[in-house]
Amino acid sequence: MTDRRFFLALAAAGATVAIAPRTTARAASSADANAANSALLDRYTAAINAHDTTAFPAIFTESYIQHSGRSPSGLAAQVENFHRIQETWPDIQMRVEDRIIDGDKVVARCIYTATHDRTVRGFTATGKKISFATIDIWRVEGSKFAEHWDLVDTAGLEKQLSGK
């Protein structure tokens, strides 16, 4: 009976050891992916703030899908979209206020600031600093952003543009 108990205890201990490294490896792999995706968001923010679209091919997939409806999909469309934004807001800056990263999803609450020195949405330039908030969700594939959904506080933006 003692031999049988010893054998069962030994088998249970072996099973625990065999399973534990996989769980630890999976957790480490997940943490590594989350760190890489956080770094991707940081590279995107740096490119926006430097107004550097040459970094975009390392940030977006060629077949990037833009779900907002404000610009077409694809890497080239994202470069062109940012050029339009930069023409409208030459001093635009982006700040990530919060981030949630899990697996292949990156969620960020962002604040954009700029000077209203051009006509925007029919509102004549005021020269005032404005800010607007977004919530962005990206899906990551192959260490690049592959899809994007967002919500933009256009009501808050238009309130500032109108001076109300």
Sign of CA dihedral 134, 79, 75, 35: negative
pTM of the model: 0.80
C-alpha 38/C-alpha 102 separation (Å) is 10
Average pLDDT of the chain to the nearest whole number: 87
What total of structural domains would you count in the chain?
Answer: 1
Mean pLDDT of 132-159: 96
Name the nearest CA neighbour of 64 among 153, 154, 146. Answer: 146
CATH number at residue 55: 3.10.450.50
Mean pLDDT of 62-86: 94
Full residue range of the structural domain in which residue 133 is found: 2-162
Of residues 87 and 24, more confidence is placed in: 87
State yes or no: pLDDT of 111 exceeds 70: yes
Kindly report which listed range (23-37, 55-69, 86-100) carries the lowest average pLDDT score. Answer: 23-37
State yes or no: pLDDT of 5 exceeds 70: no
